[in-house]
Chain A
Amino acid sequence: MKFLAARRRNPIVATLLLIGALTVVGGGYAAIASIQPANAAITVGSETQVEAGKKLYLEGCSSCHGLAAQGTETGPSLIGVGAAGVAFQVSTGRMPLAAPGAQAPARDRALYTDEETSQMAAYIASLAPGPAIPTAEQYDPTNADAALGGELFRINCSQCHQAAGQGGALTQGKYAPNLMQSRPKTIYMAMLTGPQNMPVFGDATLNSEDKQHIIKYITTLQTLPNPGGLSLGRIGPVTEGVFLVTAVFAVLLAAAVWIGIKSR
């Protein structure tokens, strides 16, 4: 005690206390925030998937998508979107939509568990035929060819998602998202269902193998090193120009000033 008390006016104390306080508050928040949100208790044991899904749907989705999934002014019809459509939107956290806007943004984590998602998917799939949730055999890219995938990616995907999958702007505030965190199953479902303004790439035009090649290319991009150094976002001239006029010129101008000023 005497040791600490004697040093209580040391200038470093304030800094250490601040760091400590921030750690406690920040860590506490992170711990609390990582707790899964509690959902309304659903008794599943005695109900089928479809019925459970219907219950979840009515609670969380029908206000925008209609009581029979027929669509309203605020949400499109879900008839025919299939299990894959639901699974994509819910598992990426896009649905339920927090607020209307140009586009539904993905969330870091879904608001429904995998079980609940499958139930809702089963319900919507029961209303009308639509794309089914792909099996691992369909979306697993292990044996696919990244080079061929790159070709297909540049033909079909890069005009919206950018050549390196960094995403791109669409009209009126919409966007094609960055693909660097996307997982194979999600990518497959996106291509299959054409969420929001993304076109539908059905299995008749791009079959499972083609889609696997594309997924392989995307996952390759995700783990690809940056052989040139700092990547600057992999989008090319814009960030290179910004880096030039800020960092590079800062160094060169500093050198010029150093040369010019008189030495003491």
Chain B
Amino acid sequence: MSTPSHVERAGGATATYVDKRMGSNKFLARNLGKVFPDHWSFMLGEIALYSFIVVLLTGVFLTLWFKPSMVEVVYDGSYVPLKGIKMSEAYASAMNISFDIRGGMLLRQMHHWAALIFVAAMAVHMFRVFFTGAFRKPREFNWLIGVALTGLALLAGFSGYSLPDDLLSGTGLQIARGIMQAAPIIGTWMAFLLFGGEFPGTDFISRLYSVHILLIPGLILALVTAHLMLVWTQKHTQFPGPGRTNDNVVGYPLMPIYMAKAGGFFFIVFGVIGLVGGLVTINPIWLFGPFTPDQVSAGSQPDWYIGFLDGALRVMPNWESSFWGITISWNIMIPAMILPGIIFTVLALYPFIESWVTGDTREHNLLDRPRNAPVRTGIGMMAITFYCLLWIGGANDIIAQAFDLSINAITWFLRVALFVFPPIVFIVTKRICLGLQRKDRDKLLHGYESGRVLRLPHGEFIEVHEPLPVKDLAVITSKTDHVPLPEPQATDADGVRNPKFRSQSWRHKLSTFFYADNVTMPSAEEIEAGQHHAAHDAALEAPLHEYEDADELRRLHGGVLHHPGMAETNAEQLAENREH
């Protein structure tokens, strides 16, 4: 053991100093060696976290130059095509950052790209958690926190890109105001209160500013902290594999490996954001011009993560009811209020719905392979299909222009596809999952196909199966055969009516649907036999000296090769061949 360096001695002294005041060594003792499982799909949440940190950092820099004011000024910066034009101070300051502050364009673009990456990473992370069943007990709270974070991120993004008060984002605010106004009873009041009167007023950008830089980031930071603390104390889930059980974590220790990998990934994400901020334009506000409520650009879309709402607004038929002096705008309420309400509610409640349906109350720390939960995977794919169709709807005019189509045709196509495609996707996905399960079962019983083709003495070709490696065996056998909830009795033995009969019937039906088609796992003995068989097969190298025993040949290959008069051994067969 070498003598500690200056840095190490200083570090040690600091640790002792802090420990005497906070008892921190206890924490370090338990956690410096904390084990984290290693899989690339566990890094998706990290992408979200790191891009959020970059958003915060670049955001702080931007606040040093941005002026959230709607006061009218005349532009006098370096961008010539807007010189002398009247615009709000917010827009002028955003233009100033882009053209007259060195590195300002980079900061703005990094901030905006990081925001896009943040939301996309959350989505992909959510998919991973969903498809592997990581939301099951004990992680339901974390799932709820995640859903809340997603909603907050959408609000943060929307409020953020509306701050520069350019024509494109201002149109988005105009739409938001129109949606607000359509809310029953309180709509007009809500719109007037938020905007300080009519649209656009002079208050909204500064109000949006405080929401964007203070309220929402504060909430996100608090929720992210809770999210990470839960992951820390509950320990991360892991994929099934050799040595991995529901009661352990197999991976690498926090210090040094996880620190290096996670810390390194932070810098990689940061670096990618920096590169993309310098190389690829995002939100070219100088092309859109300053906002005024009577101008608009063709091809107006919100940022990608709001696109699904825009698409819903576009494909919605124009239903509105007017009676008794009031108007109910179904054409706005359904796509812009009811639909996102349903989406977020179902998302939030899903873990509880699934555990009610399956009756599964065990703690799950081993992840499901998506193929082993075909209904869940099917539901997820269905939801993604629905979302993507709405997302495409939001860009229908760009698509029409790019591919020489009619926007009317695209709109009609989507109206139908929204209801036709998801069920088809569900069925196809479920079938694919079941097919993969069958393949797994085959592998257990017969080993995996090695790709080596062997010709047996009597001319039959077989593909040699090899026994599964330990890793694959562990992964495939992690599947548990779930049992659906039992069918309830309407009355018990004494004829007393069962008060919960209705709900129990539904639970039985749903859990049967959830589990019924799953391919059952073979028993342990069958698997042993299958792997042994495959091992035997795999040992077939040179057929000529393997089948000494005709009985063995017959038994292993079902007697297919054997018929009266046939050579019983290789030696006999060779002799026959030579005769002919």
Is A150 interfacial (CB-CB < 8 Å)?
yes
Partner of A163, one of B82, B85, B167, B264: B167
CA distance in complex: A259, B286 (Å): 39
Give the residue name and chain of the A residue nearest to B168 (CB).
A236
Is A261 interfacial (CB-CB < 8 Å)?
yes
Whether A252 contacts B269 in the complex (CB less than 8 A), given A154-B295, A171-B407, A228-B282, comes out as yes
Is B249 interfacial (CB-CB < 8 Å)?
no
Q: Are A261 and B80 in contact (CB under 8 A)?
A: no
Q: Give every chain B residue within 8 A of A251 (Cβ-Cβ).
A: 272
Q: Are B80 and A147 in contact (CB under 8 A)?
A: yes
Is A72 interfacial (CB-CB < 8 Å)?
no
Q: Are B304 and A240 in contact (CB under 8 A)?
A: yes
CA distance in complex: A171, B206 (Å): 38
Whether A173 contacts B406 in the complex (CB less than 8 A), given A237-B303, A248-B272, A255-B268, comes out as yes
Q: Give every chain B residue within 8 A of A146 (Cβ-Cβ).
A: 80-81
Give the residue name and chain of the B residue nearest to A224 (CB).
B81
Q: Give every chain A residue within 8 A of B298 (Cβ-Cβ).
A: 158-163, 167-169, 176
CA distance in complex: A263, B99 (Å): 45
Q: Give every chain B residue within 8 A of A172 (Cβ-Cβ).
A: 406-408
What is the number of residues of chain A that contact chain B, defined by CB distance less than 8 Å? 58
Number of residue pairs A-B, CB distance < 8 angstroms: 188
Partner of B299, one of A154, A168, A230, A255: A168
Whether A241 contacts B307 in the complex (CB less than 8 A), given A232-B280, A256-B44, comes out as yes
Q: Using an 8 Å CB-CB cutoff, how does the interface string of A218-245 with B read, 1 for contact, 0 for none?
A: 0011001011111110111111110111
Give the residue name and chain of the A residue nearest to B294 (CB).
A155
Is B326 interfacial (CB-CB < 8 Å)?
no
Q: Are A229 and B279 in contact (CB under 8 A)?
A: yes
What is the number of residues of chain B that contact chain A, defined by CB distance less than 8 Å? 67
User: At the interface, is chain B mostly helix, strand, loop or mixed?
Assistant: helix
Whether A248 contacts B117 in the complex (CB less than 8 A), given A217-B81, A255-B272, comes out as yes
Q: Are B99 and A227 in contact (CB under 8 A)?
A: yes
CA distance in complex: A42, B148 (Å): 76
Whether A169 contacts B302 in the complex (CB less than 8 A), given A158-B296, A229-B278, comes out as no
Is B40 interfacial (CB-CB < 8 Å)?
yes
Partner of B120, one of A238, A245, A260: A245
Looking at B397-405, B451-459, B563-571, the stretch in contact with chain A turns out to be B397-405
Is B98 interfacial (CB-CB < 8 Å)?
yes
Q: Are A163 and B289 in contact (CB under 8 A)?
A: yes
CA distance in complex: A148, B75 (Å): 13
Give the residue name and chain of the A residue nearest to B47 (CB).
A252
Is B301 interfacial (CB-CB < 8 Å)?
yes
Task: Report the minimum CB–CB distance from A190 to chain B (whole Å).
Answer: 16
Q: Using an 8 Å CB-CB cutoff, how does the interface string of B90-134 with A read, 1 for contact, 0 for none?
A: 000000001100000100010001001100110010000000000
Q: Give every chain B residue within 8 A of A166 (Cβ-Cβ).
A: 299
CA distance in complex: A255, B50 (Å): 14
Is A41 interfacial (CB-CB < 8 Å)?
no
Whether A252 contacts B406 in the complex (CB less than 8 A), given A169-B397, A230-B280, A241-B303, comes out as no
Q: Give every chain A residue within 8 A of B413 (Cβ-Cβ).
A: none
Q: Using an 8 Å CB-CB cutoff, how does the interface string of B387-417 with A read, 1 for contact, 0 for none?
A: 0000000110110110011111100000000
Some 13 contacts from A to B, beta carbons below 8 A apart, are A147-B82, A147-B85, A166-B299, A173-B406, A175-B400, A175-B401, A176-B298, A220-B81, A236-B288, A244-B120, A256-B44, A259-B264, A260-B39
Binding site for B on A (CB under 8 A): 102, 146-151, 154-155, 158-164, 166-169, 171-173, 175-176, 217, 220-221, 224, 226-232, 234-241, 243-245, 248-249, 251-253, 255-257, 259-261
Chain A to chain B: the 10 pairs with minimum beta-carbon distance, closest first = A168-B298, A241-B304, A228-B281, A260-B40, A163-B297, A173-B406, A256-B43, A169-B397, A169-B400, A164-B287
